Amino acid sequence: MTTLTKTEGEKAPTGPDSFLSVRDLRVRFSTEDGIVKAVDGLSFDVERGKTLGIVGESGSGKSVTNLTVLGLHNPKTTTVEGEILLEGQDLVTTPEKEMEKLRGNKVAMIFQDPLTALSPYYTVGRQIAEPFMKHTGASKKEARDRAVEMLTKVGIPQPRTRVDDYPHQFSGGMRQRAMIAMALVCDPDLLIADEPTTALDVTVQAQILDLLKDLQQEFGSAIIFITHDLGVISDMADDLLVMYSGRAVERGSVREVLREPRHPYTWGLLSSMPRLGGSTSQPLTPIPGSPPSLLNPPSGCPFHPRCTFTDKVSGDRCSTERPTLGDGRAAACHLTAEQKQTIFIDKIQPRLR
Ligand SMILES: Nc1ncnc2c1ncn2[C@@H]1O[C@H](COP(=O)(O)OP(=O)(O)OP(=O)(O)O)[C@@H](O)[C@H]1O
Ligand SMILES: [Mg+2]
């Protein structure tokens, strides 16, 4: 578990050395109702060989962010601004033809539902072999051998036979493994896993998470890991990004953010989610109110209409001034550092036990 090697107070990665560096990303969709601001000024970094966890309520823009990194958005209805620098190459301005060469090769994605990624009409083996042939120029025979090798790696029994099965002949857990095999067949430098194990039972989930960790060790891939499960996040991620309303509201190492969260939204999120090893006597507290409209987001801090601490900030700053997220370990909130610490210790921490 890589998280254990991190020390308290360590800064989240920033700057040009990052493998992936997203800067002031804005993604907007034109809809019949108006412009949906799904991602609104988001910046984050992922280091090579490290895992960035992303958490946030449904609709906070996690999937849109990552689909945009892969260039999987409809250019007719989507406006993308800002920078997505992959080893310095800006994916926002990279032509689609070149993105096709990157996808499945240098950058790959594991989706929540394997049936969105696997076609029912082709054998599992063919679907693993094809991106390998396309990106490496391998022969059919070599690619088939590679598919068998990948199925072996992800723990599919009798891979030489099962390689010729169709996805429906696989169980749900096996399909998830097959999709992981497909995502990893070209040893991607960046793997995006969007709730990769949510649909699976706990035992298979644990096996797949172990598998991802092993593969990361072997290939040194960077991983972006999206999940609602804090236990999984603390096990898998090095750094953590908390998203709200298409923005980053808090960032730091996983340890720092989970042990001493600094943003009222993160407090709400942690109080509303079951904790690994937490006592069951503390009831979960849902965040009051509902996520903001992305058509007409609140002014100032997008969380202010749901925040119970706005009276601690002088004037009407929370509703008029957008708080910025500093570098490294940071939270985008107008409360002072001292206030955040006091409120956390007095009011929030007791709830999290
Ligand atoms: N093509 C689109 N057109 C219009 N709105 C969209 C489109 N795709 C996504 N959205 C909106 O963008 C917002 C962010 O969606 P996204 O899928 O990124 O949320 P998420 O954080 O991944 O949520 P979840 O945890 O439920 O997966 C949502 O309000 C969604 O309805
Ligand atoms: Mg999503």
- Residue 138 CA to ligand 2 centre (angstroms): 34
Ligand 1 atom showing the smallest separation from residue 246 Cα:
14
What confidence score (pLDDT) does residue 303 get? Answer: 97
What residue owns the CA closest to ligand 1's atom 29? 59
The answer to whether 108 and 58 are in contact (CB under 8 A) is no
- Residue 291 CA to ligand 2 centre (angstroms): 14
Could you tell me the mean pLDDT of each successive run of 10 residues in the chain, 353 residues long? 35 60 97 96 94 95 96 93 96 95 92 85 96 95 96 92 96 90 92 85 84 86 91 93 97 95 95 68 81 94 96 95 93 96 94 80
Probe ligand 1: pick from 39, 60, 64, 265, max atoms within 8 Å of CB?
64
Please, which residues have CB within 8 angstroms of residue 15's CB and are 6 or more apart in sequence? Answer: 21, 45
Residue 297's Cβ-side half-sphere holds a number of Cα atoms within 13 Å equal to 22
Query: Residue 291 gets which letter from DSSP?
Result: P
What confidence score (pLDDT) does residue 276 get? Answer: 57
Contact residues of ligand 1, CB 6 A cut-off: 29, 31, 36, 38, 56, 58-64, 294
What residue owns the CA closest to ligand 1's atom 8? 64
Question: What digits encode the pLDDT tens for the residues 50-71?
Answer: 999 999 999 999 999 999 999 9
Could you give the CA distance from residue 265 to residue 298 in angstroms, rounded to a whole number?
A: 15
Probe ligand 1: pick from 62, 245, 249, 293, max atoms within 8 Å of CB?
62
Ligand 1 atom showing the smallest separation from residue 294 Cα:
29
What confidence score (pLDDT) does residue 130 get? Answer: 95
For the chain, the structural domain boundaries read: 258-352
SS3 2: helix
Q: What is the largest CA-CA distance in the chain?
A: 70
| CB atoms near residue 340 (< 10 Å) | 21
What confidence score (pLDDT) does residue 193 get? Answer: 94
Could you give the CA distance from residue 208 to residue 196 in angstroms, rounded to a whole number?
A: 9
Closest CA to 46 of 20, 22, 70: 20
Ligand 1 atom showing the smallest separation from residue 112 Cα:
27
Instruction: Give whole-number Cα distances, 342 to 286, 312, 329, 339, in Å.
Output: 22, 12, 18, 5
> Strand 107-110's sheet: what is its strand order?
107-110, 190-194, 222-226, 51-55, 239-244, 247-253, 330-331
What confidence score (pLDDT) does residue 3 get? Answer: 36
Question: What digits encode the pLDDT tens for the residues 189-239?
Answer: 999 999 888 777 788 788 889 888 987 998 889 999 999 888 899 999 999
- Residue 276 CA to ligand 2 centre (angstroms): 22
Radius of gyration of the chain (CA): 21
- Residue 40 CA to ligand 1 centre (angstroms): 13
Closest CA to 245 of 195, 165, 307: 307
Helices (H) and strands (E) in the chain, counts: 14, 11
Could you give the CA distance from residue 177 to residue 151 in angstroms, rounded to a whole number?
A: 8
**Ligand with an atom nearest the CA of residue 67:** 1
What confidence score (pLDDT) does residue 218 get? Answer: 86
